[in-house]
Amino acid sequence: MRWAISFHDAEGAARLPAGEIARLNAMTLAHRFIWVQGNHDPTAPAGLGGDHVAEFATARLVFRHNAVAGATGEISGHYHPRATVPARGGSVSRPCFVADARRVMLPAFGAYTGGLNVRDPPSCGSFPAAARVFLLGKEAAVQFRVRNGRRAEAG
């Protein structure tokens, strides 16, 4: 079993409660952990096991921080996509996944990560045709398509 997980910086693990650090250490001893470095965490989390790499590739997938133009099988996390959808009396904005048949952009749920609007060019520009957005709500997921930064259809 393999895991990919990240902190905002190398000292992020030190800010966790002792019980959570112990749980992570137990998991890194029991499983192969791979930490994919990013612009804010260029080194492995202090005090935790696992391998630290710039990117990790399997036969069909590559995990990396920055999306690469034209990549296939890519899972990236740099842009922290975020989407806003209409809701009762206003709108709701949340982290979201963005995907097409070739790649996935992962959201960030941390306190220090803002999020780039899924309709902005760095997010939607990585998906030349159209992408599907998955916005996680409190009780359900909302999905819709975006094409060239515009909502294409309700999902």
Q: Does the pLDDT value for residue 3 go beyond 50?
A: no
pLDDT above 80: residue 96? yes
Q: Could you give the CA distance from residue 149 to residue 100 in angstroms, rounded to a whole number?
A: 14
pLDDT tens readout for residues 38-84 = 877 777 777 788 888 999 999 999 999 988 888 899 999 888 888 88
Task: Say which DSSP state 20 is in.
Answer: H
In our burial notation (b when 16+ CB lie closer than 10 A, e otherwise), range 116-130 reads: bbbbeeebbebbeee
The position carrying tokens 């995990």 is 63
110 near 8, Cβ under 8 Å?
A: yes
Predicted TM-score of the model (pTM): 0.78
Q: What is the pLDDT of residue 69?
A: 83
First to last CA, the chain: 32
Q: What is the mean pLDDT of residues 76-93?
A: 85
pLDDT, tens digit (0-9, with 9 covering 90-100), for 116-132: 777 776 666 677 678 89
Checking if the pLDDT of 2 tops 50, the result is no
Question: What local confidence, expressed as pLDDT, does residue 138 receive?
Answer: 77
Residue with tokens 């710039």: 54
| CB-facing half-sphere around the CA of 13: CA atoms within 13 A | 18
